[in-house]
Amino acid sequence: MAGGDNLQVLHALDAAKTQWYHFTAIIVAGMGFFTDAYDLFCISLVTKLLGRIYYFDPTSEKPGTLPPNISAAVNGVAFCGTLSGQLFFGWLGDKLGRKKVYGMTLMLMVICSVASGLSFGHTAKGVMATLCFFRFWLGFGIGGDYPLSATIMSEYANKKTRGAFIAAVFAMQGFGIITGGIVALIFSAGFNSRFDAPPYAVDRAGSTVPEADYVWRIILMLGAAPAVLTYYWRMKMPETARYTALVAKNAKQAAADMSRVLQVEIVEEQEKVEQLTSKKANNFGLFSREFARRHGLHLLGTTTTWFLLDIAFYSQNLFQKDIFSAINWIPKAATMNAIEEVYRIARAQTLIALCGTVPGYWFTVAFIDIIGRFTIQVMGFFFMTVFMLCLAVPYHHWTTPGNHIGFVLMYALTFFFANFGPNSTTFIVPAEIFPARLRSTCHGISAAAGKAGAIVGAFGFQYAAQSRDPAKRDKGYPAGIGVRNALFVLAVCNLLGLLFTFLVPESKGKSLEEMSGENEGEQETEAAAAPSKTIPV
């Protein structure tokens, strides 16, 4: 059987012109990501408020803040859930089918979004414990969305614009972050004008009105809305033809589903499906020698690059508060009341997302099928290394008054090249280079490595970046290596990411089966793998 002799149903998908169903798929899969980003990022908008409400100390000159361990738990528990969800649902997506599992993850996200806003208890401990519990399971559902959205989109897309379609799904994250900010702005502005309160410095207890407790709950619960809206469409989407044909081995169903979607007549080829799937080359498992030989380095490449990128990407929160207070976007906490502080933080986060986050994603969508995944990833890591060094070497210069504009510019450029770079490509490539029956699992493993990096970035660096000078340290934290040294470490992570990118193959313009070697004859496979051996006839 020749290498190009693919199933007609798969060929039809590869060659399909861009049409309406592609956009439906982007919206349906993208809405999951929109919700993910909203849910993961909106917690950072309300942590200060939680500190003021539940950790108020009438004797302190500064408003209440979450203790370091509670703050780490509230912010980090969703990451731990996401990591577990990526591994579990990634594996399940290959076992039960993409579509079946897709509905489950969405329901989990809806239920836990609402439940985390209903966190109950009269004591600070009770509220934080229930909030963390529901945020973990919310993360678990979000984790499932990573491998499934990427795999579904890559299996539905055509050869020519597949990169742009998967990138567009991922880019919905940017809109999720902005929407989170806008929702927080609307509710904090509304509550602030209705329940006017003096700043903390004027009246410590009175600066946090009892109604402030509703603000954070509403913001968290609204995360369920976009997910609910797309549930019906998710359930109507047929299973991907690649899963139905190559994994479930049901040619008739695959042909029928895709005839309906593409509105062309497709012949079912049950015999060919049997032939393809019974070959030795298409039956090795994840832990087999054959997998290690064919895809071992690829998996090493996708996991390490995602891990290293997320260390840098999620450590950005370190500098945000310095930047915001430096440019005076967020005044000293004591000069504001609780709800006003939410408004200021949301405004700053939304502006950053508009300028730094969103453009990078769409640059990737525009260029990925022109210059390719590899080029974008190498370029992104390169510029991230350069700008991190530009921030680190003259760090003292940036912190002196009057030089903040340059600092903000460097900071924005770093994250522009993260999004027009490895943040997008590390999500796209694992959905393209592995065989159909392991695709969702391998994407889940790569994504989970990324989340492990995110945990290191968000929490390891939270401690590492603390100053050696006790006066400059955040309350309750031990001494660290300081922000400047932390920036050097991040630059090294980016450089390592650049080097590991060389393990990942370029998938631009190739079909998924070409990338994974699923439609090769056995002789070709063996010849390709071991050119020096004699080929059995």
The residue among 339, 337, 335 whose CA lies nearest residue 191 is 339
For the four alpha carbons of 235, 238, 244 and 250, in that order, the dihedral sign comes to positive
pLDDT of residue 430: 97
Residue labelled with tokens 């919700």: 35
- Burial string for 72-100 (b: 16+ CB within 10 Å, else e) reads bbbbbbbbbbbbbbbbbbbbbbbeebbbe
3-state secondary structure of 23: helix
Give the whole-angstrom CA distance, residue 21 versus residue 16.
11
pLDDT of residue 525: 41
Other Cβ atoms within 10 Å of 502 Cβ, number: 12
Give the whole-angstrom CA distance, residue 508 versus residue 368.
8
pLDDT of residue 326: 61
Other Cβ atoms within 10 Å of 229 Cβ, number: 11
| Angle at CA of residue 312, ends 308 and 315, nearest 5° | 135
3-state secondary structure of 100: helix
Strands (E), 16-131: none
Structure tokens at 443: 């994407």
Is 130 within 8 Å of 229 (Cβ atoms)? no
Structure tokens at 511: 């079909």
Give the whole-angstrom CA distance, residue 163 versus residue 373.
8
pLDDT of residue 277: 84
pLDDT in tens, 108-152: 999 999 999 998 877 899 999 999 999 999 999 999 999 999 999
Model confidence pTM above 0.85: yes
Q: How far is CA 328 from the centre of its chain?
A: 30
pLDDT of residue 278: 83
3-state secondary structure of 413: helix
The residue among 510, 519, 443 whose CA lies nearest residue 170 is 443
The residue among 53, 40, 34 whose CA lies nearest residue 215 is 53
Low-confidence ranges of the chain (pLDDT < 50): 1-4, 522-537
Compute CA distances 155 → 13, 243, 393, 431, whole Å: 8, 8, 45, 8
pLDDT of residue 319: 66
Is 45 within 8 Å of 184 (Cβ atoms)? yes
Other Cβ atoms within 10 Å of 19 Cβ, number: 12
Is 392 within 8 Å of 484 (Cβ atoms)? yes
Give the whole-angstrom CA distance, residue 442 versus residue 380.
23
Q: Burial level of 169, CB count in 10 A (0-12/13-18/19+)? A: buried
Is 364 within 8 Å of 217 (Cβ atoms)? no
Give the whole-angstrom CA distance, residue 173 versus residue 31.
9
Element (H, E) at 136: helix 124-156
pLDDT of residue 6: 78
Number of alpha helices (DSSP H) and beta strands (DSSP E) in the chain: 24, 0
The residue among 154, 41, 30, 240 whose CA lies nearest residue 442 is 154
- Burial string for 20-38 (b: 16+ CB within 10 Å, else e) reads ebbeebbebbbbbbbbbbb
Compute CA distances 199 → 217, 318, 494, whole Å: 22, 26, 42
